[in-house]
Amino acid sequence: MAFNNSQRYFPETRMRRMRADDFSRRLMRENRLTPDDLIYPAFVIEGQGVRETVASMPGVERLSIDLMVKQAHELVSLGIPAIALFPVTPAEVKSELGEEAFNPDGLAQRAVRAIKDACPDLGVITDVALDPFTTHGQDGIIDEQGYVLNDRTIETLVAQAISHAEAGADVVAPSDMMDGRIGYIRAMLEEQGYVNTRIMSYAAKYASAYYGPFRDAVGSAANLGKSNKFNYQMDPANSDEALHEVALDLAEGADMVMVKPGMPYLDIVRRVKDELKVPVFAYQVSGEYAMHMAAFQNGWLDERSVMLESLLAFKRAGADGILTYFAVRAAQALN
């Protein structure tokens, strides 16, 4: 067959040539997953030496601060750059207005101080939202009809973010989806001198059915009851709206943005990365983790290979980092 320079078809082009050996597969690999890409979401509870399993999330535990510090040392040893803290607030300190959220001696604030004292080089990310602290389980302050009040909620979110920065948090991560809260938090951080406290905005957070096990883990499911979060979290049907949300949060001072959930929304990750070219993170949420674990425990899927493949998909979609409950196991496998 004569060679035609204008066309390259079989057999001149054999796509399988570069797949034939390990060395060439490695040389042409477009995306790589390393422990640097992982953030470990952790549930912290009151007490000393307390460890509680989360029934709907096999392998995930709620830990008291002393045990969380030991967990932090393990993360450092594995090369995982950051931990994201989620407090399990005792029922007796929850309230309609969520005042415990900005208590300087609150559970989250004490956990931040303890981890930063023990592992100063580990990045500590804190959740800025009111659902763990409200008796109604919503992410904000509600009116008589149960509607979340945007501007009133922002006042409390700002106080919460500042309390986290004072405790030593490296990154505050507003996950509440209130309009305008990034700008107010950024302004107050600057005013208080926390100029290097980063903001990871949950800019495209969808009103997803994948969050159920997380709400069990932090103890907000019972408070929320049959209510929903449709009037502030995004409609899963929308894509263009996510770009608008992300652009607004960046304009208000976010340093990085989050897409949540993860794998069902990788198209959003790709659009944000391609169109805005900013640091983009994604959350492999509790429902995704629970589904994987159910398949692993039933022997339907191979844990190691599927776990790593699922995380690599985030990288291929454009995510710079991934919040995942698999972080420790994935880092161990990668190392």
Q: Which residues contact 52 (CB under 8 A, 6 or more apart)?
A: 45, 61, 62
Identify whether the C-beta of residue 285 lies closer than 8 Å to the C-beta of residue 260: yes
Q: Which tokens sit at 261?
A: 């959930």
Measured between alpha carbons, how far is 192 from 21 in angstroms, rounded to an integer?
A: 57
Distance CA 330, CA 191 (A): 40
Report phi then psi at 284, rounded to 5: -80, 95
Catalytic residue selected from 94, 116, 229, 260: 260
List the catalytic residue out of 205, 229, 273, 315.
Answer: 205
Q: Is 315 a catalytic residue?
A: no
116 is catalytic: no
Task: Provide the residue type at 195 as one letter.
Answer: V
Task: Report the alpha-carbon angle 185-191-197, nearest 5.
Answer: 55
Say how many residues make up the chain. 335
Which residues are part of a known binding site for Mg(2+)?
A: 245
* Residue 302 φ/ψ, nearest 5 degrees: -80, 125
Contact assessment for residue 269 and residue 259, using Cβ atoms and an 8 Å cutoff: yes
Q: Report the alpha-carbon distance of residue 44 to residue 49 in Å, rounded.
A: 12
What stretches of the chain show up as alpha helix (H) in DSSP?
Answer: 22-27, 65-78, 107-118, 150-167, 181-191, 212-218, 221-224, 240-252, 266-276, 286-297, 303-317, 327-334
* CA contacts within 13 A on the Cβ side of 198: 12
**Binding residue numbers:** 245
Active-site positions read 205, 260
